[in-house]
Each structure stands twice: as structure tokens, then as C-alpha cells.
Amino acid sequence: MIILGIESSCDDSSVATYDTHTNTFHELTKTQNIHNEFGGVVPELASRNHAIDINELLNSLLLNFDLKKLDLIAFTQGPGLSGSLMTGCAFAKSFALSLKIPSIGINHIEAHMYSPLIEFKNLLFPFLSIVVSGGHTLISIINDFNSYEIVSTTVDDALGESIDKFAKEIGLDYPYGKNLEMYASNGNEKKFTFPYPVVRSNPLNFSFSGIKTYSKKLISHSDSKTYLKDLAASYQYSVFNIIAKKTKKISEKFKLNRIAISGGVASNFRFREILKDLFSKKTTDFYFPSSRLCTDNASMIAFLGHKKYNKLSSVDTDFTPFANFN
Ligand code: KG4
Ligand code: ZN
């Protein structure tokens, strides 16, 4: 089978073909730099640019490709920005209709959860999945392609969202996560200690809003470069340490020693080190996908589209985008 994947949930337009016989992916992704000057993603601009970019990317991707070879179109149905999702959904549906092939809507977060399986053929079910993105912070037990259980989530900000807010507050530019990683790389991460949030209703859950308030106070104390670099490094260390510690608790509780990560924040190398270091004396296997597979991409949409399509009893005609996960 050859599946075309289309991803447009936020500010990355991405298209990919996935040939299941040869297990090869061809992907083109474009990040919308237009948001830089506004200090964050502007939803209306994002959807307008998807309309242009998806078209251009597909023209390049399918330039010498025989369209008759396409069997299925998988597109991101949600969660994400409504306008961005609608652009991708409408494009995918109409393209599929014109080619007389089926299409399937894919949950973006589920695509992140399963994406490590693209690169790691030795990753067996069940495994623990950490998804840390701009909109979500989830730890789940992945049983198979049809079953997973979310065991931990955030009660307020997502990890990526809190990182973006902190980076903006100390004066860094968009894209915040990437810039914070570089900025913090030569800071002293032990210089400041941040509070460890406890969520009483479910101690496995996360909360990042208290750290945000606490860090605002510290940011206002000085604008010296050394001070801010140390603060940035300490902030990164503290939020990554929270994720690592809860992951350890969860892996012990559920006796799972395979851990896979995904979502934009998972591309951060310090995050990977902190996670590994905490487990150093344990026999735990980590599955860290390449950075391009952690951030938003159409390969993971095509991949999960194939797995889901095989399980469908009838062709799904629903293409209503959904903005929220639940
Ligand atoms: O998965 P993703 O690309 O899009 C969503 O589905 O949200 O994740 C985007 C998030 C943003 O908050 C971004 O700042 C963060 O991932 N991010 C990073 C890094 N690269 C992207 N955070 C920390 N370090 C990075 N290197
Ligand atoms: Zn994402």
C-alpha cells in the first residue's frame, strides 16, 4: 500500500508518502516562520498559510509520482487549531474524492504516541509512551494499535506551553523551545531550585502553572545574561526532572521497562539525558526517535493511517475536525 499523509494541526505543514512494501517514507515539511514577528502562532495566519503550503509541498513531493499508485490518504483530524485542521481535512478529503481512493482522519496525539515504532522495529507492546508537546503532556501505556491507557496528564499548562511562556518571558524569540535549549546549554542548571508540584487529586499528574508564577518572580530580579542563562538552565532541568521522576514512578508501578518519547519537547537532548540518568541503575530500554520524528510530521500520520485503516470495517466518511483531545 502507498499512503499519503497530511499534517496541519498547528504551524507545520507536512506531507509524506509511506510505502508499506518497502517501508520507506518520503516527507516534506515547512514550518511557518511568519509567526516569529508576533511572538507566537497566529491561528488565522496559520490556516491561510497551510492552504498555500500544503499545495506547494504536495506538488514537489508528487512531482514524478504516479498518482494511480496512491491507495489511501491519512490526514490529521485533531486536536489542534480549528482553522489549520479544516484546511488539511478539506484538502485531504477533496484530493481523495478526486482520486477515488479512501481517506482516514487521524488523532495527532495518537500519531505522536505510536511514532517511535517507525524507527524502532524492536520496540514491542506494551510500552510506556511520553508525549510532551505544545498542547499536551501525557504518559500512556500503549498495549497495541487499538488500545492504550493514559495514566498521567497535566492539570494546567502543557510542558511545551510552559517552556514557550518561560522562554518568551526571558526575552528569547520564537521558536521558543529550540532557542531555550541552545540558550540554556551553557548555564548552571543547579543554580536555582524550583518547587516540585504535587497534584493531590492524582499524584501521577503534572502541574506547571506554579513553576510559571515562581519563575516570573526570579526573572524580575535581574536581567544580566549570566543570571538569565543560569535561570534558563535551572528551569529546564527542573521541569524535565519532574517528567523523569513521574515516569520512573509509573514504570515501577506498572512494571514497564520500555519507554518511548515523542512530541516537540522530546527533541530536547538535555531532556533525554535527564530521563536516562534517573534510570541509570535500572534495566530500562529507551526509544528516542530522531528530532524530525518528535516534532510535527506527516510520516507519523501516514504510518498510523495505515495501521488504523487495516482495522476498519467500513470506510469512514467523517471529516469534522476536532480541536480538543477529549
Ligand atoms: O509536537 P509539536 O511540534 O507540536 C504540537 O503538537 O504542539 O511540539 C511543539 C512544542 C513547542 O512548545 C516547542 O517549543 C517545543 O515543542 N519544542 C521544544 C524543542 N523543540 C520544540 N522544547 C524544548 N526543546 C526543544 N528542542
Ligand atoms: Zn504535535
- Summarize pLDDT for 235-250 with one digit per residue, the tens: 999 999 999 999 999 9
Q: Is 53 in the pocket of ligand 1 (CB under 6 A)?
A: no
Q: Is the CB of 10 under 6 A from ligand 1?
A: yes
Q: In this model, does residue 319 exceed pLDDT 80?
A: no
User: Residue ranges per domain, the chain?
Assistant: 2-112+297-310, 123-293
What interhelical angle do 269-278 and 176-184 show, nearest 10? 70
Closest atom of ligand 1 relative to the 161 alpha carbon = 12
What's the mean pLDDT in 192-205?
94
Average pLDDT, stretch 81-89?
A: 94
CA distances from 207 to 111, 136, 285, 303 (A): 24, 12, 27, 32
- Residue whose Cα lies nearest atom 16 of ligand 1: it is 264
1 — pLDDT class (breaks 50, 70, 90): very high
Q: What is the pTM of this model?
A: 0.94
| The domain over range 123-293 is classified in CATH as 3.30.2310.20 | no
Nearest to 213 by CA among 280, 279, 165, 143: 165
The band of 63, judged by pLDDT with boundaries at 50, 70 and 90, is very high
Q: Evaluate: CB of 295 within 6 angstroms of ligand 1.
A: yes
In this prediction, residues 264-274 reach a mean pLDDT of 97
pLDDT for residue 317: 61
Using the atom order of ligand 1, give the atom closest to the CA of residue 158.
12
Cell numbers describing residue 155? 492539570
Ligand nearest to the CA of 294: 1
Please determine, looking at this structure, whether the domain spanning 2-112+297-310 carries the CATH number 3.40.50.720.
Answer: no
Per-residue pLDDT at 183: 98
Q: What is the distance between the alpha carbons of residues 322 and 320, in angstroms, rounded to a whole number?
A: 6
pLDDT confidence tier of residue 202, bands split at 50, 70 and 90: very high
Q: Is 132 in the pocket of ligand 1 (CB under 6 A)?
A: no
The answer to whether domain 2-112+297-310 and domain 123-293 are alike in fold is yes
What is the distance between the alpha carbons of residues 302 and 9, in angstroms, rounded to a whole number?
A: 14
pLDDT at 42 over 90: no
pLDDT the model gives residue 203: 94
Distance 227 CA to ligand 2 centre (A): 32
Task: Walk across the sheet containing 103-107 and list its strands.
Answer: 24-31, 12-19, 2-7, 72-78, 103-107
Q: Binning pLDDT at 50, 70 and 90, where does residue 316 land? A: low
Residue 135 in contact with ligand 1 by CB distance below 6 A:
yes
Q: How many CA atoms lie within 13 A of 183 on its CB side?
A: 26
Is the pLDDT assigned to residue 282 strictly greater than 80? no
